[in-house]
Amino acid sequence: MATILVVDDRASNRSLIATLMGYEGHRVIEAVDGAEGLGLAQAERPDLVITDILMPKVDGYDFVRQMRLDPTISNTPVIFCSAHYLGDDSEALAEGCGAFAVLQKPCEPEEIVRTVREALRVIPASS
């Protein structure tokens, strides 16, 4: 069982991912924006973060940049979910922020589960 932080300003998006991850046996914590997400990431040290990009207050970019500056959570794998970044843009985004993957919204449940499984497989055993 992994702890997964889901950061998204839309409750319906958080709920979908939380439900899918619950079926997979994972513990899910939720935040409504990057500011809340950073506090939860620092307090809970999740195994994986799934975050939206465009959010009020602190967006997904800034959230992940701030995570990367904190040595206690800097290596946490991140999956972005975005309706706004596609193709080459999403690959550049993933590379620039050190994200594991970028999923296109609306995300298919099977794609979310598959991507999370892949991301959790790359986590070192000492995490």
Domain boundaries, position 57:
3-121
Residue 78 inside a domain? The answer is yes
115 near 103, Cβ under 8 Å? yes
DSSP three-state, residue 9:
coil
Q: What is the C-alpha separation between 28 and 50, in angstroms, rounded?
A: 10
State residue 74's pLDDT score: 94
Is there a contact between 76 and 50 (Cβ–Cβ < 8 Å)? no
Answer whether residue 102 is part of any domain: yes
* 9-27 mean pLDDT: 95
| Higher-pLDDT residue of 85, 41 | 41
Residue 52, H or E segment: strand 48-52
Residue 126 domain-assigned (yes or no): no
CA 127, 79, 43, 22 torsion-angle sign: negative
Residue 87 is predicted with a pLDDT of 58
- Round to whole Å and give the CA distance between 76 and 125: 13
The residue ranking higher by pLDDT, 83 or 19, is: 19
- Taking 90 as the threshold, does the pLDDT of residue 109 lie above it? yes
Domain count for the chain, please give it: 1
Task: Quote the pLDDT of residue 85.
Answer: 57
| Residue 55 belongs to domain with CATH number | 3.40.50.2300
Whether 31 and 40 have beta carbons less than 8 Å apart is answered as yes
80 assigned to some structural domain = yes
Helices 34-44 and 60-69: crossing angle in degrees, nearest 10, is: 30
